[in-house]
Structure 1
Amino acid sequence: MIVRERPSYLELFFTLKGSVIRRVWPQCLFVMVLSAAVVGGHAWRPGLVPTLDGTPFSLVGIALSVFLAFRNSACYDRWWEARKQWGAMVAAARDLARQSLVLEARGEAGHALRRGLIEAVIAYVRELVDLLRGVAPVSQWRFPADARLREAGMRLAVARAGGLVSDIEFSILDGSLKELCHAAAACERIRTTPVPFGYTLLLHRTAHIFCFLLPFGFADVIGWGTPIVAGLVAYTFFGLDALGDEMEEPFSLHSSAVPIGAIAGMIEINLREALGETNLPDLPRPVDGVLL
């Protein structure tokens, strides 16, 4: 996620970090070069380059804009849902740290149980980051990080059977583990269920065909201004297409992705601080304006 102060209006025109220009500049350059060639062909060889009516481009452009807005809205919903689920995990982890304070009054056994629960949650969120980012092996039907929550649940079950934890305390602590599990399951759903490929394919093809044909409809209307206008239109359509691709994968390492690594680091700091530790990990910081 891009973390920086909002640039000035002039800087907005020249800022590259966080923009999609690095991904789409080849297509934009091709459209501008094609536009210049079409305009030159109309000027020097009028019968060689075909002329198209510009009216249909307005209708197609409106339809394409609506379709782009629909897909980007769907992709942003995925991004925002991912951020909400990690926010829920932060709240559940903090709740567990607070709720487990009652165990400190049970002596060494209670302290060991509380530390075991919190260490299991720390390991869980760390492994979850690797799983969602594809660093650790994962399949659609197997979710290895869940073993950490099962470990914590087993500790609670043993403590309950031994009388260290009451039924009410077990229900409360297990409820926080359940919230962590539900949030992770939602993240797993987002990761394994992409936006239907047909939407992406249709939009990608239509945007490219539209931008490649655009110079033939505008060459006679705006002349040598066609490369600039066509380049701006191409930057807008190709850029929105690329931005949708980034938001569709909110757990990736793109600069627009949800900073789940930083959130997991913040959870670890909160939980270790709740244990009374003073040698805490460093706070997550952005690198070159990007927080991962």
Structure 2
Amino acid sequence: MTNSIGTSMWSRVFRLRGTVILHIWWQVTLVVLFTTGIIFIHLNKFPIHFPMPILIDIMGVVTGLLLAFRTQTSYERYSQGSELWCQMTIYSRNLTRLIWTGVTPHDSQNIVEKKSAINLVLAFAVATKHYLREEYGYKYADLSNLLSHITTTHATPRNVSISHKETFDDVITTQRDVNCTNIPLEISYYIASYIKYCQNQPWDQPKCDAIVITAMHKYLSQLVGCLTTFEKIRKTPIPIAYSVHLTHITWIYTLAIPIQIVSRFEWNTLPIVALAGFALLGILEIGQEIENPFSYAANDLPLDQFCEDIRLEMEHVLMQSPVQAKDWISSDKNMPFYPKSFQTASELMRRSPEELENIMRRLETGPQAAAGRTAV
């Protein structure tokens, strides 16, 4: 176990994928070059003396608090996105379960209808993934086969990433020009039409009861609720004034360090400032990277894997017919009162309630129960 921990530690120390090193190396290089210039000026032109590094003390506290708040805010968005996807998975599972087991009879027509509806539940998750990545349209490898038979407003894949736009106004204008539509929301209309179809069957040939209909509407509404909250996270970035001001403060503080400590450390200032710049600029970059957790970066949520998990679960559910309670309760291998009674459920059902109660009393007063009471 110790060896495993050590291996994991060293693999993290030397790991590059998923880190911010490749994003900030040039920034740290600029800081090092600036520091080298300050040291050269101090040693060869005119000395730079700060009796007390007051600016480091004052700005250090402010910069630290701002960076901590920025990182925490970004992580909350990341965590909320992960929690929302977990909830959407739960609602997808429940809706699939109700469609597959709650709609009867299990004949050829209903099997085809239920499979078609469940495909749309999967399509909702996949379309949400693309929608959060601002990949508009449905002609993607993992989505087109699920939606090729229905009509959507927008059919051409387009990608408009907010992270590549200069201002919020540019984002709004670009999205308006693309004429993007909310395909997950459109899919919810088709799922609702299936629920309505089940609800409007003749009274003497019902496909499901009112409780199942109500539950399906509930889970569909919750899926749409998850989509709306996803939109809030994706389309409500941290205010630009806060992000820009924090970037300014971080750079001012980092570049002020060598000026204040060069008279004391001289060339030793170089590694000190390099490490400080790596730490501060790294934290700043982490906050910016995880602010939008829905993209393709190594630190983003694995949405492709989430959708694949949902697809595999649905395929597994559809591999078997809806389970009937009588089939497993009446099984010859079901011995409800084991180990006190080796009789099967079918045999026990032929006994009187008094006999069954006597068997259950023996269960409560058996050696294990007695040992449990003694331990207590």
Q: Which range, TM-score by smaller chain?
A: 0.7 to 0.9
- Amino acid across the alignment from 2:188: L
Paired position in structure 1 for 2:191: 152
Letter in 2 for 1:181: V
Q: CA separation of 1:155/1:262 partners in 2, compared to 1, >3 Å: closer, same or farther?
A: same
Aligned residues: 271
Aligned residues of 1:104 and 1:114 also touching (Cα < 8 A): no
What SS does structure 1 have at the residue aligned with 2:107? Answer: helix
Which residue in the other structure is 1:228 paired with? 271
Amino acid aligned to 1:38: I
- Corresponding residue for residue 55 of structure 1: 54
Corresponding residue number in structure 2 for 1:35: 35
SS of aligned partner of 1:71: helix
Task: Render the CA deviation track for 1:173-208: whole Å, top value 9, x for unaligned.
Answer: 121212211111111111111111111101111111
Q: Which runs of 4+ in 1 moved over 3 A?
A: 5-13, 50-53, 137-142
**Helix, strand or coil: the match of 1:248?**
coil
1:183 aligns with 2:226: yes
The separation in 2 between residues aligned to 1:180 and 1:126, in whole angstroms, is: 13
- Consecutive unaligned residues of structure 1, counting only runs of 5 or more, are 278-292
> How far did 1:104 drift?
4.8
Q: How does 1:1-292 map to 2 (within 5 A)?
A: 8-46=8-46, 50-52=48-50, 53-100=52-99, 101-136=101-136, 137=158, 139=175, 142-162=181-201, 163-276=206-319
Could you tell me how far apart the structure 1 residues matched to 2:6 and 2:221 are?
Answer: 39
Q: Distance in 2 between matches of 1:51 and 1:115?
A: 77
Q: Work out whether residues 211 and 234 of structure 1, in 8 Å CA contact, stay in contact via their aligned partners in 2.
A: yes
User: 1:101-148 deviations in whole A, cap 9, x for unaligned?
Assistant: 122534234323321221101111111111111222585994222111
Structure 2: which 5+ runs fail to align?
A: 137-157, 161-174, 321-376
**Bigger Cα displacement from structure 2, 7-16 vs 232-241:** 7-16
Which has the bigger relative contact order, CA under 8 A and spacing at least 6?
A: 1
Q: Hey, what does 2:152 align to over in structure 1? A: none
Q: Distance in 2 between matches of 1:274 and 1:63?
A: 55
> Quick one: percent identity of the two aligned structures?
20
1:70 Cα deviation (Å)?
0.5
The amino acid across from 2:21 in the alignment is I
Cα distance in 2 for partners of 1:6, 1:73 equals 29
For 1:6 and 1:16, the matched residues in 2 are separated by 18
**Counterpart of 1:280?**
none
In the alignment, the residues of structure 2 paired with residue 28 and residue 83 of structure 1 have an alpha-carbon distance, to the nearest angstrom, of 32
Contact preservation (8 Å) 1:24, 1:238: yes
Q: Is the 8 A contact 2:96 2:121 kept in 1?
A: no
| TM-score normalised by L of structure 2 | 0.68
Determine the C-alpha separation between the residues in 2 that align with 1:6 and 1:196: 41
Distance in 1 (CA, whole Å) between partners of 2:292 and 2:197 is 39
Q: Which has the larger radius of gyration?
A: 2
Distance in 1 between the 2:14 and 2:183 partners? 44
Q: Are the aligned partners of 1:97 and 1:118 in contact in 2 as well (CA < 8 Å)?
A: yes
Indicate if the aligned counterparts of 2:104 and 2:207 stay in contact, CA closer than 8 A: no
- Judge conservation of contact 2:105–2:207 (CA < 8 Å) in 1: no
d(CA) in 1 for partners of 2:184, 2:6: 37
Q: Is the contact made by 2:94 and 2:219 (CA closer than 8 Å) also made in structure 1?
A: yes
Change (3 A) 1:242 1:109: same
Question: Residue type matched to 2:82 in 1?
Answer: R
Task: Name the stretch that deviates more: 28-37 or 70-79.
Answer: 28-37
Say whether the 8 Å CA contact 1:106–1:164 is kept in structure 2. Answer: no
Question: CA deviation digits over 1:248-270, x for unaligned, max 9?
Answer: 11111111111111101111111
TM-score (norm. length: structure 1): 0.86
